[in-house]
Amino acid sequence: MTQDTRLRTNINKEIEELKPWFHNLHLPDSTQTAPDHWLGDFPMFKWKELSPFIPQDLSGWKVLDVGCNAGFYTFELAKRGADVLGIDVDTHYLKQAEWAAEKMGLQKKTRFKQMQVYDLAKEKENFDLIWFMGVLYHLRYPMLAMDILAEKNSDMMVFQTLSMPGKEAETDTWDRPINEREDLLKDGWPKMAFIEHKFSGDPTNWWLPNHAGIEAMLRSCGYKITGRPGHEIYIARKDAENPSCLHTWNKSEYQSAIQEDWKAEVGNKIKK
Ligand SMILES: C[S@@+](CC[C@H](N)C(=O)[O-])C[C@H]1O[C@@H](n2cnc3c(N)ncnc32)[C@H](O)[C@@H]1O
């Protein structure tokens, strides 16, 4: 057995031991972690759609990959020079990511932490780019997660979610009298379908927004949509002209949800 064959046999054995894989990672020796993935070469085919929308040189960028899984995107962004923190609730996937970081020689550019997306509210770090793909629909509290992430993000978000069918988006959603509700039934009104039981056999799928709903949520968190690389994928940048509703309306609700002392702030305002 040659040295190369022996190394390849060892890697294949380790891949087998780390199963099941959701990300088909392409390792430097050209081994793949899930070459028979039911979605095809996933998520490489999504990355190919997306990558032209992301700066080639990410040197100096701090990036957060939410729900990083085995780290496919974490590694691609680190290869462009970014320092990437990947978070996930599932230690099985984090173990895969840590193993792969070593195989790719990317340990210095990547960190992995077991975290709930909501735990980020207590973190001090800020990120130039937040990668938020494939997670929103798994959350029972999607707007809370969006608000937390927007507060930690100084520039760009890459967003993807399972969504309801349709491409329509009403342009006038400003206000309606209390008894005029028909417009809410229009295809282009921002909406989310609530999944009480399961979707695609998965009980962790809670909410599927429509296209108008995705754009409206992003705007409501202070973003403008600057790119649509593919189906259900949105590039958003912080919009200086349109701050998040947190800063114009209901900060105390947010503070209460993240267990911050909101009464002190409201109390101070009242005293003034
Ligand atoms: C559908 S996979 C998407 C993986 C990757 N982001 C992608 O787009 O290929 C969802 C990932 O999010 C993680 N996840 C689900 N709920 C989460 C939560 N509340 N906080 C952090 N990660 C979560 C899951 O463990 C899983 O790895």
CA neighbor of 73 nearest in space, from 96, 52, 43, 95? 43
- Ligand 1 atom 19 nearest Cα: 116
Judged against a pLDDT cut of 60, whether residue 271 lies above it is answered with no
Task: Please tell me which residue, 4 or 187, carries the higher pLDDT value.
Answer: 187
Q: Over the stretch 28-54, which tens digit does the pLDDT of each residue have?
A: 999 999 999 999 999 999 999 999 999
Asked if residue 84 lies in contact with residue 77, where contact means CB atoms within 8 angstroms, the answer is yes
Question: 272 falls in which pLDDT band (50, 70, 90)?
Answer: very low
Residue with tokens 């509290």, as numbered in its chain: 141
Q: What's the pLDDT tens digit per position in 91-134? A: 999 999 999 999 999 999 999 999 999 999 999 999 999 999 99
> Which ligand 1 atom minimizes the distance to the CA of 68?
6
Provide the pLDDT for residue 262. Answer: 84
Task: Note the pLDDT of residue 268.
Answer: 59
CA within 13 Å, CB half, 238: 16
Chain-centre distance of CA 248, in angstroms?
25
Which atom of ligand 1 lies at the shortest distance from residue 131's CA?
Answer: 6
Q: What is the pLDDT of residue 50?
A: 96
Q: pLDDT band at residue 1, thresholds of 50, 70 and 90?
A: low
Q: Name the more confident of 247 and 210.
A: 210
Q: What residues pair up with 130 in beta bridges, in sequence order?
A: 64, 157
**CA-to-CA distance for 100 and 33, rounded, in angstroms?**
10
Mutation to probe ligand 1, out of 88, 120, 199, 208 (largest number of atoms < 8 A from CB): 88
**Cis peptide upstream of residue 20 (ω within 30 degrees of 0):** yes
Which is more confidently placed, 270 or 87? 87
- Can you tell me the mean pLDDT for 77-82? 98
Distance 161 CA to ligand 1 centre (A): 11
Mutate to test the pocket of ligand 1, among 114, 123, 138 (most ligand atoms within 8 A of CB): 138
More confident residue, 10 or 116: 116
Ligand 1 neighbours, Cβ below 6 Å, are: 43, 67, 69, 87-90, 93, 116-117, 133-135, 138-139
Positive or negative, the Cα torsion across 87, 93, 98, 103? negative
The secondary element (H helix, E strand) that includes residue 96 is helix 91-104
Instruction: Please report the pLDDT score of residue 247 as a whole number.
Output: 84
Q: How far is the CA of 222 from the centre of ligand 1 (A)?
A: 23
CA distance 104 to 236: 29
Residue 14 has pLDDT above 90, yes or no: yes
For the chain, the straight-line distance linking the first and the last C-alpha, in angstroms and rounded, comes to 80
Confirm whether pTM is higher than 0.85. yes
Confidence (pLDDT) at 270: 52
Average pLDDT score over residue span 68-79? 98
